[in-house]
Structure 1
Amino acid sequence: MFAIACGYEDADDLDALRDDPGFRLALGKLPESGAGLASQPTMSRWENAPTTRELASMMAAMIDIYCASYPAPPTAVTLDIDDTCDVVHGYQQLSFWNGHHGERCFLPIHIYDTATGRPVAMLLRTGKTPSGKEAAGHIRRLVRHLRRNWPDTHITIRGDGHYGRPEVMAYCDAARVDYVFGLPTNSALRADPAIVAVADACAVKRAQRQCPVLRNYAETRYGAKTWKCQRRVVARIEASTLGMDIRYVVTSLATGSAEHIYDTLYCARGQAENLIKRHKSQLASDRTSCRSANANQMRLILHTAAYWLLWRIQQAMPRTAALASAEFTTLRLRLLKVAARVVESASRIRIAFASACPDADLFRALVLRLKPAPT
């Protein structure tokens, strides 16, 4: 976990890092004396050791860590669920050809509390789009575990059209979980009188005003043949010189205007894409090159643990600090991969930074904020 946070995601790097004084100190060992840390073969065996049941327990513990990160149960949370393309490096277990991405890949599911940047769960899965039954199963297990920790917290699930499936919405309705999902267009929605009227008026108004783009919103009640009931559908209508563009969202929320549902609630899921990019590109969580699916899931858990470590450092940062909103790569270069002299004596360990260290004051503040409370 510490190696991944510092940018050494390959187990091969551990042969050179097993005697690094910084890593030794982080793991509670003396920096210069004693046996070295785990080597690459040891780490590789460890990654392949957990069984499926043990990995499921780790995933449950990951959700417990998320819940414990709040000082008190929140009144409500909105969780974003999405999958992302993880290109494979061979014929690993669960790898599958995905025509949309044009790659043989995994499509792991990422779930975030986007408002705070907290990771909730990461699940390795095959490279095809999840079915409604599969997605509903994942959400059901997530909600069940969350409610063991937070029985009174209101949960809202947000996702794109992959997750706006009848099985998912039926479960959410039954479990008293609100949702905001993207909805693919179809001929029935395109012909809906309420949406057509607003779209025509928007196009006419844009032409009269000679605006390059004009946006409006509409809503209707819609029920597909596979749905058990009609649901609220919100349409974002955008008329431009290029033509008409209409996007749809289905939601269980009864309150809030169509504009609020789309622009404020649904579009906020775009931040989840940034968190996935942070997880993949800044922590290299797509380095799932083991042959075993269990080993790759274990790596995904380790990368999420590294995410938690950097997120915690970011949250401990004074709000006035220049690095308070920095990306993980910046935090790594400025705070983790910093040159220092480590001296081990009989009675103490001294860590000396350069006298001209530009972040010396920030280091002092972080030490005080991250220091464990006395027991």
Structure 2
Amino acid sequence: MSDDTSQPFLFPAIRHKKITADFDGGRITSDGGVLLLAAAERRIGMADRLARLIADPRNPRRVTHGVADILRARMLAIACGYEDADDLDHLRCDPGFKLACGRLPDTGRDLCSQPTISRWENAPTLREVIRLTYALVDTWCDSYARPPAAVTLDIDDTVDVVHGHQQLALFNAHHDERCFMPIHVYDAATSRPVAIIIRPGKTPSGQEIRGHLRRLIRRIRSHWPNTRLTIRGDGHYGRPEVMAWCEAHDVDYIFGLPGNSVLHRLLEPSADDIRVRRAETRAQSLRGYAEIRYGAKSWKQQRRVAARIEATTLGLDIRCVVTSLRGGNAEWLYGALYCARGQAENLIKRHKGQLASDRTSCRSPLANQVRLVLHTAAYWLMLTLRDAIPAPQPLASAEFTTLRNRLLKIAGRILETATRVRIAFAAACPEAALFRSLAISMQAAGP
């Protein structure tokens, strides 16, 4: 049967010369930079780490695609912008992706297809999914050459809109959507993800947050028993159960604290001073800081509260945080320490918007958690690649979308002969020098 799906087509003529085109260029990949991602994956061993945690009941003599190969292909595709498993039906014969997964472009077997990907996303049991989630924490801990003296972890949740009848999906009145509300934990100082947990589409309770933190801190301390840990989150993480648990287990915290009439009454002397000074100087706004001891009815003790008070022509704006930290003044606690949590929100946007981690469309919550693990693994690949770029380079601090467009989406013709595989990249590539240096520097060291 003749192949009538590939028909030549025309572009407007230039200088009376007709321009014809067709998709018959041969073994060309549009994602030549996937080989850099493959080097990043080999450096951290993410696919092998995850594959060891999933039982494979298949007959080894009949296995075409190992679990590590399946996970590796999925992670590389996500990092390159192919977030749907359906894309593997086309990418499975792409010569660039085959090389990145350790297969020859012509004589090697094609990669796994979408049904294989979907089966393995739904295959892990509850215990295996828990181990996969813990593996993300282990990867973060292993990313440090030595245990740090202190680490601040940002915890937050984000809306993940669903479009079906997935388990755990609930209607959230605040977002006016049926959704999940997965919890993200980041080491914002280094932009590294620590843990991502799927959960129902509602605000987490104090008991739920305490349970997540208890398991997370226990895992971290199995690696770093002497590291000082600080948990940072917004107002709905500052629950009495959470603060009491942190105090009992030598974990510092700083959480947002919603305002109320009692807090405003205690802060009135400081607020009045700032208000009067603004009026006297006729400034548009004047900001100050104050510190008090405050104990809500649901608390068993008084705690340290730092407040940012801003007087403007429109009135007063008072924002408070509650903390277990004893050092630092109110200005440092709120302005420098707490406000730095805004970076975590940017990291969540990067995780969702640039790696499409909100594609949690499986019916089972276990399969959706596996997807979050795979998208987080792709996050690690992109982060490892970016960290390998020397600091003077503009791309050393670029967003993942920029890295993808400048370093990954590079066309290359791939030719396999009897003795070698040759890749010819585009001669006009703007990042050719950086690409070459990265390819050399990310190679594994010899014996």
Other structure's SS at 2:236 match: coil
- Where does residue 328 of structure 2 map in the other structure? 256
Give runs of aligned pairs for residues 70-109 of structure 1, distance below 5 A.
70-109=144-183
Code of the aligned partner of 1:269:
R
Aligned to 2:141: 67
1:141-191 Cα shifts (integer Å, max 9, x gaps)? 111000000111111000001110011111110111111100111221111
Q: Which moved more, 1:252-261 or 1:340-349?
A: 340-349
In the other structure, the counterpart of 1:113 is: 187
Select the structure with the greater relative contact order (CA < 8 A; seq sep ≥ 6): 2
- Per the alignment, residue 151 of structure 1 pairs with 225
CA displacement 1:61-117 (0-9 Å, x = unmatched): 110000001111111110000000000111210001111111110000000000000
TM-fit CA distance, 1:41: 1.1
Query: 1:299, CA displacement in angstroms?
Result: 0.7
Aligned counterpart, 1:220: 292
Alignment of 1:157-236 (within 5 A): 157-192=231-266, 195-236=267-308
Partner of 2:11 in structure 1? none
Query: In the TM superposition, what are the counterparts of 1:343-354 in structure 2 within 5 Å?
Result: 343-354=415-426
TM-score, length of structure 2 as denominator length: 0.82
Please give the residue correspondences for 1:332-371 in structure 2 after superposition, counting only pairs within 5 Å. Answer: 332-371=404-443
The residue identity in structure 1 corresponding to 2:194 is V
Residue in 1 that maps onto 2:348: 276
Larger Rg: 1 or 2? 2
Q: Once the two structures are superposed, what CA deviation does each residue of 1:41-61 show, in whole Å capped at 9, x if it has no partner?
A: 111111111111100000111
**Equivalent position SS for 1:295:** helix
> In the alignment, what sits opposite 1:138?
212
Aligned to 2:121: 47
Separation in structure 2 between the aligned mates of residue 35 and residue 374 of structure 1, nearest angstrom: 28
Equivalent residue letter for 2:333:
I
Task: Name the residue aligned to 2:20.
Answer: none
State the TM-score, normalized to the length of structure 1. 0.98
Query: Hey, what's the Cα distance between the residues in 1 that align with 2:446 and 2:390?
Result: 22
Distance 2:388 2:166 in 1: 39
Whether the 8 Å CA contact 2:304–2:323 is kept in 1: the answer is yes
What amino acid does structure 1 have at the position aligned with 2:168?
L
CA–CA separation in structure 2 for the residues paired with 1:34 and 1:110: 39
The equivalent position to 1:305 in structure 2, one of 369, 377, 393, is: 377
Asked if the contact 2:410/2:426 (under 8 Å) is kept, the reply is no
Deviation at 1:135, TM superposition (A): 0.2
Runs of 4+ in structure 1 off by over 4 angstroms are none
> What displacement does 1:225 show?
1.6
In structure 2, give the amino acid aligned to 1:171. W
Deviations 1:8-44 (A, max 9, x none): 0011111111101111111111112232111111111
Counterpart in 2 of 1:29?
103
Aligned AA (1:61):
A
Deviates more, 1:350-359 or 1:199-208: 350-359
Q: 1:38 aligns with which of 107, 112, 134?
A: 112
Alpha-carbon distance between aligned partners in 1 of 2:404 and 2:144, rounded to the nearest angstrom:
25
Aligned to 2:389: 317
**What letter corresponds to residue 387 of structure 2 in structure 1?**
Q
User: How far off its partner does 1:351 sit?
Assistant: 1.4
What corresponds to 1:129 in structure 2?
A: 203
Secondary structure of 1:191's counterpart equals: helix
- State the partner residue of 2:71: none
Q: Specify the SS of the correspondent of 2:394.
A: coil
Shift of 1:118: 0.4
Q: What SS class does the counterpart of residue 125 from structure 1 fall into?
A: coil
**Percent of residue pairs bearing the same amino acid type:** 65
Structure 1 residue aligned with 2:359 = 287
Q: After TM superposition, give the deviation of residue 302 of structure 1 in Å.
A: 0.6
How many residues of Structure 1 are paired with residues of Structure 2 in the alignment? Answer: 373
Q: Secondary structure in 1 aligned to 2:316?
A: strand
* Structure-2 separation of matches of 1:353 and 1:82: 42
SS in 2 for 1:135: helix
Letter in 2 for 1:265: L
SS of the equivalent of 1:355 reads coil
Q: Does 1:373 align with 2:445?
A: yes
1-structure distance, mates of 2:409, 2:300 = 56
